[in-house]
């Protein structure tokens, strides 16, 4: 005899089926509700899959002795020899790693400083038309090729005909052989990077500033705060989360240099290699030209793993500063 309050056995499947249908219906209605957003994200997801995840199958090339006849999957196995080729010359490996990290750190620090400074200045201006024109002018260099920038710099820094040396000679200073001064040319690279990318970064930070509630500034003015105090106590603190986020994203590429920049600006001048021989340039000089694609792939994997570790460490440090600033 069945006890009072017990559920009949034949009712259990019916109840479970009813609950399953209800959940399925809710999930489907949620999918239909979010379908415009999913369709909007679909092109980006397809690009991510096609150009980020599917090519990861080519990592097998890292452990292959690549030849054109066998291709990626038909070439013989090489074990760890592709890594040994890079680290067999520790002086070159250390120099390339040091130059890559040094330049990227300088680019990140100076680029962030000038981008934030420009964004704050734009935020303090009141002429809307002037702000729009200024944004367009500053954003334009971002689309200029490094080849064009290199040609412009050469006309400025050439030892015999460069404008910079002519000005130095006119004021009584001697001409400088810029393309034979490795450490001095680091300054040129940093300034060129600022000119090209600071406007792009400024627009991102300026967009963040537009979302700040004006009530914060009104309260500060009521308390008698000056414009500089408003910037230091309200504007800058509001930008810190965005600065941390963009810095974390940039750290992932800390070990990846801009090959097109070095080629376009320095023309791979051997006199400048002590400071411009970054990992990408070293791989191009020693591997790509000779068809050593296995070695090039091994170094790319080394860059990616090192960058991933840096992101984990930086993300942990950001979490200690502000838990909400972490990427994950």
pLDDT band at 147; cut points 50, 70, 90: very high
Range of the domain at 253: 81-325
> Given a cut of 90, is residue 105 above it in pLDDT?
yes
42 lies in some domain: no
Give the mean pLDDT of the chain. Answer: 84
pLDDT band at 26; cut points 50, 70, 90: low
Beta-ladder partners of 64: 77
Per-residue DSSP letter, 235: I
Please state, as a whole number, how many other Cβ atoms lie within 10 Å of the Cβ of residue 311: 19
Q: Token pair of 310, please?
A: 């840096």
pLDDT band at 255; cut points 50, 70, 90: confident
Counting the structural domains of the chain, the total is 1
> Given a cut of 50, is residue 25 above it in pLDDT?
no
191 lies in some domain: yes
36 lies in some domain: no
Q: By the 8 A CB rule, do 138 and 198 touch?
A: yes
Please state, as a whole number, how many other Cβ atoms lie within 10 Å of the Cβ of residue 291: 12
Cα 75 to Cα 67: distance, rounded to the nearest angstrom: 6
Q: Please spell the DSSP secondary structure of 3-16, one letter per residue.
A: PTTPPPTTHHHHHH
pLDDT at 8: 47
59 lies in some domain: no
> Which range among 46-60, 183-197, 230-244 shows the weakest confidence by mean pLDDT?
46-60
123 lies in some domain: yes
**97 — phi, psi (to 5°)?**
-65, -45
Q: What is the CATH number for 156?
A: 1.10.3720.10
Cα 104 to Cα 253: distance, rounded to the nearest angstrom: 8
66 lies in some domain: no
156 lies in some domain: yes
Please state, as a whole number, how many other Cβ atoms lie within 10 Å of the Cβ of residue 314: 20
Cα 199 to Cα 119: distance, rounded to the nearest angstrom: 9
> Given a cut of 80, is residue 275 above it in pLDDT?
yes
Residues 6+ apart with CB under 8 A from 263: 146, 281, 284
53 lies in some domain: no
pLDDT at 153: 94
The structure's pTM equals 0.80
């Amino acid at each position: 005899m069945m006890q009072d309050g017990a559920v009949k056995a034949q009712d259990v499947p019916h109840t479970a089926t009813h609950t399953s249908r209800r959940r399925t219906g809710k999930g489907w209605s949620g999918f239909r509700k979010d379908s415009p957003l999913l369709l909007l994200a679909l092109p980006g997801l397809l690009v991510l899959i096609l150009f980020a995840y599917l090519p990861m199958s080519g990592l097998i090339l890292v452990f292959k002795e690549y030849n054109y006849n066998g291709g990626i999957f038909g070439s013989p196995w090489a074990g760890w020899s592709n890594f040994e080729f890079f680290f067999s010359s520790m002086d070159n490996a250390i120099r390339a790693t040091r130059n890559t990290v040094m330049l990227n750190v300088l680019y990140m620090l100076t680029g962030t400083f000038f981008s934030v400074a420009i964004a704050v200045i734009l935020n303090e201006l009141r002429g809307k038309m002037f702000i729009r024109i200024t944004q367009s002018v500053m954003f334009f260099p971002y689309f200029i090729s490094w080849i064009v920038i290199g040609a412009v710099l050469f006309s400025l820094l050439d030892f015999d005909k460069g404008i910079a040396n002519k000005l130095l000679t006119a004021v009584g200073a001697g001409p400088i052989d810029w393309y034979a001064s490795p450490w001095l040319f680091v300054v040129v690279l940093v300034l060129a990077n600022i000119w090209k990318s600071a406007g792009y970064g400024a627009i991102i930070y300026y967009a963040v500033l537009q979302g700040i509630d004006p009530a914060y500034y009104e309260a500060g003015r009521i308390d008698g705060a000056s414009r500089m105090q408003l910037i230091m106590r309200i504007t800058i603190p509001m930008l810190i989360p965005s600065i941390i986020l963009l810095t974390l994203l940039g750290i992932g590429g800390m070990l990846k240099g801009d090959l097109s920049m070095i080629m376009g600006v320095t023309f791979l001048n051997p006199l400048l290699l002590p400071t411009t021989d970054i990992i990408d340039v070293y791989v191009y000089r020693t591997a790509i030209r000779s068809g050593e694609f296995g070695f090039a792939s091994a170094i790319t994997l080394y860059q990616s793993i090192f960058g991933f570790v840096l992101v984990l460490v930086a993300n942990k440090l950001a979490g200690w500063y502000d838990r909400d600033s972490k990427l994950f």
